[in-house]
Amino acid sequence: MGDLVSNLSLGFGVALSLQNLGLAFLGCLVGTLIGVLPGVGPIATIAMLLPITFGLDPVGALIMLAGIYYGAQYGGSTTAILVNIPGEATSVVTTLDGHQMARQGRAGVALGIAAIGSFFAGTVATIVIAALGAPLTRLALIFGPAEYFSLMVMGLVFAVVLARGSILKAIAMILVGVLLSTVGLDLETGEERMTLGLPFLIDGIDFAVLAMGVFGIAEILRNLDHTETRDVVRQAIGRLLPNRDDFRQSYKPVLRGTLIGATLGILPGNGAVLGPFASYTVEKKLAKDSSRFGRGAIEGVAGPESANNAGAQTSFIPLLTLGIPPNAVMALMVGAMTIHGIVPGPQVMTRNPELFWGMIASMWVGNLMLLIINLPLVGMWVRLLKVPYHLMFPAILMFCCIGIYSINSLPTDVMFIGFFGIVGYMLIKFGFEPAPMLLGFVLGKLLEENLRRALILSRGSLETFIDRPVSGVLLLVAVALLVVALLPSIRKGRDEVFTE
Amino acid sequence: MSMSQGGGRDRRGLVRSPQNLAAGLSLVFLAALALWLTRGLSQGHLNAMGPGMLPDWLAYGVGLCGLALLVAAFVKDGEPLEAWSLRGPLFVVVAILAFAVTIRPFSFGPISIPGLGMIVAGPLAIIIGGYAAPEAQLRPLLVLAFGLTPFCMVLFGDLLNLPIPIFPQSLAGLMPDGWSQKTILRVLAALMAVVAVVIHFAGGRRKDGRDGKIDVATQPEEI
């Protein structure tokens, strides 16, 4: 306990310096600015804004990136409530009741409770991370290559189970993602693999390029097919602060949402996505009158939004302690850390304690910033929403180009976002979901490295993955998850969760 | 889920799910491509895996998934293929390519383009890309291009000091001696902003279609 306090005070010492406070503020602001644009999710936002952190010192850069991440998340919720367009998968649930509230002239209250719930969830999640960080890091030290491999396999299986639509297609996407990650120089022999003799493929495909193509450009292409003319937020926003009744109705959902979100967020394989869905289902089940849901029930905003933010934050845990990014956003964080010369993993906490604890403290600061800047600025975000899409997407397009060019100063990277944009567009048309592919790609290199290492250690015996107890349990969980997901009755339930 | 409302009950012919057929074919093609590309790499053994082993396994996996989808396409009813638009992808890709080849000196075979920097690449990307939307009009796009580019020039080139080319170096020779790169950047940005304002107000202000309705991107449930 004493450790926790001293660590956190070290962290707050770093995060509360004037420069870092400014960076957190700036990050939240630009993150929300881009994230609020309909059709731009957190992944594209972070990839676009990655370059603006290059000139900073590592601590400042990561603090700013974390700010951008929270800002993008909150921006997505704003769009969901005001225009009924979820910026990303996790705010889909918010559209259900949030937008209904907006239609009833209670948009302000919906935004307010979302911000307050998120802030509370963020505070709890920060403490959870600080408390779990140290023990989990020790756990990481007993992990060998076999355990890492099994953990990642479990994460990928989890991603398959969580993906919407056909399970077969999700598996295929994971495999394609891992396959794409093998392009480039082989780690051990130095032989070129699938590079087509092209020099810029020797280092492999850049993650930011793939993410920007599949999530930035492909989204633009898809949106161009799906634009429609309609009214945008004609209603008044209304008062922002929820009144006593609203609080009475929503404090329990916030508590439950936080608990659900924080727990699911820790799981590898993007468990955070499930948080809002789970929270919404729980609230609906617990409600005295469940017919209010879908017609502007404040619990339907408070719970999922808290779960969303708690999950967004605790998903830092696998990254910071084990060095395994649980989702695409965290993979971008890996990219950012690597650019600043930090290899994420258990050693970060011991080697860069300021960075580790500073970042954790700045998460809380970032959440506070969001509360402070977003509520007064709602009017400005609303104006942004009134920009017609045919003028917005060219701007997004240019930002994507500039952003990706400035990462490596390579024109070929820019061309590649066009290529992957087309690929992503085709995937969407063929009914594939790009998110599992990205996760497969992210984990691919680590997966192969640990697989090969484990097999060398075991002299080529595959039994090592089952014989070692931790690894065996992880694989067992993975198999169980897959079997459960394939059972017809569960599959029906899963579809229901996602269609609600 | 409302995504299945559009039908998929198309029962003519053998193919019962065109979407799955296309998906399966593309996976099989990808697997074949990967296997062909890794044909020269050694497989190694389990205790010393060669560079080719994992990609090959993965390719087989992808191929199997593809075959399964192909079979499913003939056995199970499923989604039809959505209509494809050519306009969007075409203009967006051309815009991206235009940005890529003009941002810095580029040569490909006999063609060589001097580095023109963001001052040219940015507006090119916006204007060409803008035509991907059927509602595109030149004037608003010009205003956007000349208004947003100086903002980016100042943000990325001046404030953030990123090593991104801003303007063609030949332009620097035309400027008065003693002007630093930063000064030129700021002057050019100011000029562009003025141009944007002029275009915006030139040709009369037509406040047409201002009934509060705009086009927005809608999100399907699958994403």
Tens digits of residue pLDDT in A101-147: 888 888 888 888 888 888 899 899 988 888 887 787 777 778 888 88
User: Interior CA angle at A247 toward A241 and A251, to 5°?
Assistant: 130
Predicted confidence band of residue A172 (pLDDT cuts 50, 70, 90): very high
Instruction: For residue A39, give the nearest of A170, A228, A210, A173 by alpha carbon.
Output: A228
Residue of B46, B84, B145 with shortest CB distance to A460: B46
CB atoms within 10 A of CB B113: 14
Q: Is A457 on the interface with B (CB under 8 A)?
A: no
**Is A37:A392 a contact under the CB 8 Å cutoff?**
yes
Q: Let me know if residue A454 belongs to a domain.
A: no
Encode pLDDT of A238-248 as tens digits: 777 778 888 88
Residues of A in contact with B45 (CB under 8 A): 460
Residue of B45, B55, B118 with shortest CB distance to A193: B55
Burial of A444 (0-12, 13-18, 19+ CB in 10 A): buried
Instruction: For residue A125, give the nearest of A65, A46, A70 by alpha carbon.
Output: A70
pLDDT at A496 over 60: no
Encode pLDDT of A18-72 as tens digits: 888 888 888 888 888 888 877 777 888 888 888 788 778 888 888 888 888 888 8
Half-sphere exposure of A209 (CA within 13 A, CB side): 25
Q: What is the pTM of this model?
A: 0.84
Q: Is A496 on the interface with B (CB under 8 A)?
A: no
Residues of B in contact with A165 (CB under 8 A): 222
CB contact under 8 A, A176 and B45: no
CB atoms within 10 A of CB A451: 23
**Could you tell me which residues are beta bridge partners of residue A230?**
B214
Residue A31: domain span: 2-148+206-411
Q: Quick one: pLDDT at residue B205?
A: 53
Residue type, A61: A
| Helix, coil or strand: residue B214 | strand
CB atoms within 10 A of CB A499: 11
CB contact under 8 A, A179 and B34: yes
Q: B142: distance to nearest CA of chain A, Å?
A: 11
Cα separation, A114 vs A443, whole angstroms: 32
Per the model's pLDDT, the better-predicted residue between A339 and A369 turns out to be A369
Cβ-based neighbours of A289, under 8 Å, separated by 6 or more: none
Q: Let me know if residue A142 belongs to a domain.
A: yes
Phi, psi dihedral angles at A59 (to 5 degrees): -60, -50
Residue of B37, B89, B144 with shortest CB distance to A394: B144
Cα separation, A280 vs A303, whole angstroms: 7
Q: Quick one: pLDDT at residue A286?
A: 83
What is the residue whose two structure tokens read 């001696």? B177
**Is B165:B104 a contact under the CB 8 Å cutoff?**
yes
**Is A497:A273 a contact under the CB 8 Å cutoff?**
no
Token pair in block for residue A380: 């400005």
In this structure, what DSSP letter does residue B202 have?
T
Q: Is A495 on the interface with B (CB under 8 A)?
A: yes
Predicted-complex ipTM score: 0.85
Chains A & B: contacts with CB separation below 8 Å: 265
Q: Quick one: pLDDT at residue A491?
A: 58
CB contact under 8 A, B125 and A394: yes
H/E stretch holding A50 reads: none
User: Interior CA angle at B179 toward B173 and B184, to 5°?
Assistant: 75
Q: Let me know if residue A165 belongs to a domain.
A: no
Lowest mean pLDDT among A179-193, A351-365, A433-447, A483-497: A483-497
Q: Is A236 on the interface with B (CB under 8 A)?
A: no
Q: What is the mean pLDDT of residues A462-480?
A: 87
Q: Quick one: pLDDT at residue A108?
A: 84
End-to-end CA distance of chain B: 13
Per the model's pLDDT, the better-predicted residue between A33 and A489 turns out to be A33
User: Interior CA angle at A214 toward A212 and A219, to 5°?
Assistant: 95
Residue of B48, B149, B160 with shortest CB distance to A456: B48
Q: Let me know if residue A212 belongs to a domain.
A: yes
CB contact under 8 A, B125 and A401: yes
Q: Let me know if residue A79 belongs to a domain.
A: yes
Q: Quick one: pLDDT at residue A350?
A: 78
Beta strand B106-108 with B111-113 is antiparallel
Q: Quick one: pLDDT at residue A249?
A: 83
Q: Is A89 on the interface with B (CB under 8 A)?
A: yes
**Sign of the dihedral through C-alpha B125, B126, B130, B131:** negative
CB contact under 8 A, B26 and A225: no
> How confident is the prediction for chain A on average, in pLDDT?
82
CB atoms within 10 A of CB B110: 5
Lowest mean pLDDT among A193-207, A409-423, B130-144, B207-221: B207-221
Cα separation, A295 vs A285, whole angstroms: 16
Q: Let me know if residue A139 belongs to a domain.
A: yes
Lowest mean pLDDT among A170-179, A312-321, A371-380, A434-443: A371-380
Q: Quick one: pLDDT at residue B60?
A: 93
**In tens digits, what is the pLDDT along chain B, a chain of 223 residues?**
333 334 444 445 677 888 888 899 999 999 999 999 888 888 877 777 888 888 889 999 999 999 999 998 888 887 787 777 888 899 999 999 999 999 888 877 777 888 888 888 999 999 999 999 888 888 889 989 998 899 888 888 888 778 888 888 777 777 777 778 888 888 888 888 898 888 888 865 554 444 456 666 665 443 3
Instruction: For residue A37, give the nearest of A310, A418, A309, A380 by alpha carbon.
Output: A380
Q: Quick one: pLDDT at residue A250?
A: 81
Q: What percent of chain A has pLDDT over 70?
A: 94
Encode pLDDT of B118-169 as tens digits: 888 999 999 999 999 888 888 889 989 998 899 888 888 888 778 888 888 7
Q: B100: distance to nearest CA of chain A, Å?
A: 5
**Is A407:A50 a contact under the CB 8 Å cutoff?**
yes
Q: How many domains does chain A have?
A: 1
**Could you tell me which residues are beta bridge partners of residue B215?**
A229
Residue of B79, B96, B213 with shortest CB distance to A415: B96
Q: Quick one: pLDDT at residue B4?
A: 39
Q: B130: distance to nearest CA of chain A, Å?
A: 5
Q: Let me know if residue A421 belongs to a domain.
A: no
Predicted confidence band of residue A178 (pLDDT cuts 50, 70, 90): very high
CB atoms within 10 A of CB B187: 13
CB contact under 8 A, B23 and A431: yes
Q: Quick one: pLDDT at residue A180?
A: 92
Q: Let me know if residue A493 belongs to a domain.
A: no
CB contact under 8 A, A222 and B223: yes
Q: Is A130 on the interface with B (CB under 8 A)?
A: no
**Sign of the dihedral through C-alpha A380, A381, A382, A388:** positive
Q: B192: distance to nearest CA of chain A, Å?
A: 16
